[in-house]
Amino acid sequence: MTSTPAISIRDVVKRYAPAGGEAKLALKGVSFDVPEGGIFGLLGPNGAGKSTLINIMAGLVNKTSGAIDIWGFDIDRDMRNAKRSIGIVPQEIVFDPFFTPFEVLEIQAGLYGIAKPLRRSEELLRAVHLADKRDAYARTLSGGMKRRLLIAKALVHAPPVIVLDEPTAGVDVELRRQLWDLVTEMNREGATIVLTTHYLEEAEELCDRIAIINHGEVIANKPTRDLIGMAREKVVVLTLDRDLGQIPVDPSFCKSEKVGDRIVEITYDIDKANAGQVLAAVQAQGFAIVDVTTREADLEDVFVRLTSNPA
Ligand code: ADP
Ligand code: MG
């Protein structure tokens, strides 16, 4: 890769030292690049440091040390241009309850010095399916509508990089789908997207590259496909010819589990066995196999393995 990354994060440390509270090292020297043009997932459990990192990029939290470039602009030396290059959708929803969606977008455009004729408030409201709420008070919007308004607000200055901090935490299935579509659409139109999430399937579905952060440290950073490839386990699901009295076991199995009267799920390590050997071991114990399916390990397996090390 030769092009300048959309975001470059180098050795960022954040130490929270609340007055009277206990100091907390939330980021312990985080480094990674977000390549231009993709959907980058920052995946990690609650408390990992995702929002801290996003809030540093937004200029809401001061880092303790390290450096960040956004679209080639150093946030310490050139916050103004860095800010113009990024649109951040925060995790927490905050609005003045007495403004309407249209006003929220107009005020935001004003903050960026965008002249009236160049503003895109109507277009943005349509894009997030809020055109019919143009003049409603923010306090009357549902949670999902507020979240979509926050996205529109982050897009007002047409930034090339868009960051969404847990956009789908606590939203229902339908809205989650809608938000996924919106993210994909923004990316198709050319925006580089960064998305934080603690939902594995979300990162797996949307992101072409994923960094996993845990206890303030990046523990993996790879194309999604390679990350899933790190799961060294596979699962075969066998339907047997009769009800299972005892579950077949063999030293080559990592795990065998009864999931139905005649169905057993066997997990094996692909470095130590193959599907043929698993089937042979089951047959050797007197079972006839009626049906076989295999399942790839998913990101969950990788994630559990990588994050199970205690801090
Ligand atoms: P995530 O977004 O991944 O859930 P956060 O960045 O919100 O994680 O939090 C990372 C760690 O920093 C947590 O242990 C959290 O309690 C702590 N933390 C976050 N904000 C503050 C703050 N303002 N003061 C002190 N500690 C904080
Ligand atoms: Mg967070």
> Domain spans of the chain?
5-224, 233-307
- Counting ligands in written order, the one closest to the CA of 21 is 1
What CATH homologous superfamily does 5-224 map to?
P-loop containing nucleotide triphosphate hydrolases (3.40.50.300)
- Residues 209-229 have pLDDT tens digits of 999 999 999 999 999 988 887
- Atom of ligand 1 minimally distant from the CA of 91: 2
C-alpha distance from residue 222 to each of 25, 57, 275 (Å): 25, 22, 27
- Residues 103-145 have pLDDT tens digits of 999 999 999 999 999 999 999 999 899 999 999 998 899 988 9
Ligand 1 pocket, residues with Cβ under 6 angstroms: 16, 18, 24, 26, 44, 46-52
Binned at pLDDT 50, 70 and 90, residue 307 comes out as confident
d(CA 70, CA 50): 17
How many A from CA of 70 to the centre of ligand 1?
22
Probe target for ligand 1 pocket from 12, 13, 16, with the most ligand atoms within 8 Å of CB:
16
Sheet holding 263-269, edge to edge: 253-258, 263-269, 233-240, 289-296
Strands of 134-288, DSSP E: 161-165, 192-197, 209-214, 217-223, 233-240, 253-258, 263-269
Burial (0-12, 13-18, 19+ Cβ within 10 Å), 247? middle
d(CA 108, CA 95): 12
| Token pair belonging to 25 | 């090292």
Looking at the whole model, is its pTM more than 0.85? no
Binned at pLDDT 50, 70 and 90, residue 248 comes out as confident
Burial (0-12, 13-18, 19+ Cβ within 10 Å), 27? buried
How many A from CA of 210 to the centre of ligand 2?
16
Query: Residue 177: how many CB atoms within 10 A of its CB?
Result: 12
Domain topology for 233-307 = Alpha-Beta Plaits (3.30.70)
How many A from CA of 16 to the centre of ligand 1?
8
